């Protein structure tokens, strides 16, 4: 049975309850919220691994809620909407959603999308089950405190710099393409991302490398991307 928790957010109780039945049949733990404000409260109190989020809701709608979630978290979000227009789908994905399902939907299709998003979330290293410190040489990253130490001294990173560093260091040795780094950190399609990523990589190197031109940790793999070298 799965130990993952899914938060179902929809102002229609019948939809919440129906989705809950299928999720529990798959072994997931289920939390429920009737609007975006309730969802944010649940996120503050509970560990959640995926969110199913309706767009049209009172108090705080799905778009606004996604903006709030993406300020702090990168957990998968599957959006629900009764609208089938492409513009709604594009807007939902552009502001940080990972997938989109149009109502009415087949519950088994939704379950397949839930499984797919959770597999990607775990496999690509965004979710660290241990939530412990990660050490590579003199670098020590604490995902809970969102802190990076270099030889015991804190490194001052911007939010984007930290997110890039966390992605690379928690997957030390793995090469990430520029597009993959951009999509994982910025949560949007990687259009003309090369210069943006390169600038942030340069700034990170200036903060963690003794000689940024001859880096010990943050390496480029020419023609492929970047990686944090294993110790």
* pLDDT average, residue stretch 125-154: 80
Percent of the chain with pLDDT over 90: 47
Contact call for residues 72 and 48 (beta carbons, < 8 A): no
Average pLDDT, the chain: 86
pLDDT digits (tens, 9 = 90+) for 86-103: 566 666 677 778 888 888
User: Is 134-228 a domain of CATH 3.40.390.10?
Assistant: no
On the question of a common fold for 5-123 and 134-228, the answer reads: no
Secondary structure of 196-224 in the HEC alphabet? HHHHHHHHHHHHHCCCCCCCCCEEEECCC
SS3 of 130, please?
A: coil
Which CATH code is given to the segment(s) 5-123? 3.40.50.2300
What DSSP designation does 98 have?
S
pTM of the model: 0.56
- The confidence score (pLDDT) of residue 103 equals 86
Domains of the chain: which residue ranges? Answer: 5-123, 134-228
pLDDT digits (tens, 9 = 90+) for 181-223: 988 888 778 777 888 999 999 999 999 999 999 999 999 998 8
Question: Distance from CA of residue 11 to its chain's centroid?
Answer: 24
């Amino acid at each position: 049975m799965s130990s993952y928790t899914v938060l179902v957010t929809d102002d229609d109780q019948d939809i919440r309850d129906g989705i809950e039945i299928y999720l529990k049949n798959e072994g997931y733990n289920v939390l429920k919220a009737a609007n975006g404000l309730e969802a944010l409260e649940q996120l503050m109190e509970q560990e959640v691994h995926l969110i199913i989020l309706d767009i049209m809701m009172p108090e705080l709608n799905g778009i606004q809620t996604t903006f709030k979630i993406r300020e702090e978290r990168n957990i998968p979000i599957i959006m629900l909407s009764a609208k089938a227009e492409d513009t709604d789908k594009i807007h939902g994905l552009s502001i940080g959603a990972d997938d989109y399902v149009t109502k009415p939907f087949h519950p088994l299709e939704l379950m397949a999308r839930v499984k797919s998003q959770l597999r990607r979330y775990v496999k690509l290293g965004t979710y660290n089950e241990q939530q412990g410190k990660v050490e590579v040489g003199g670098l020590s990253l604490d995902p809970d405190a969102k802190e990076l130490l270099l030889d015991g001294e804190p490194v001052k990173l911007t939010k984007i710099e930290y997110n890039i560093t966390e992605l690379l260091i928690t997957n030390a040795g793995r090469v990430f393409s520029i597009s993959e780094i951009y999509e994982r950190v910025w949560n949007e399609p990687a259009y003309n991302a090369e210069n943006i990523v390169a600038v942030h990589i340069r700034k990170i190197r200036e903060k963690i490398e003794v000689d940024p031109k001859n880096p010990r940790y943050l390496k480029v793999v020419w023609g492929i991307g970047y990686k944090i070298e294993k110790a």
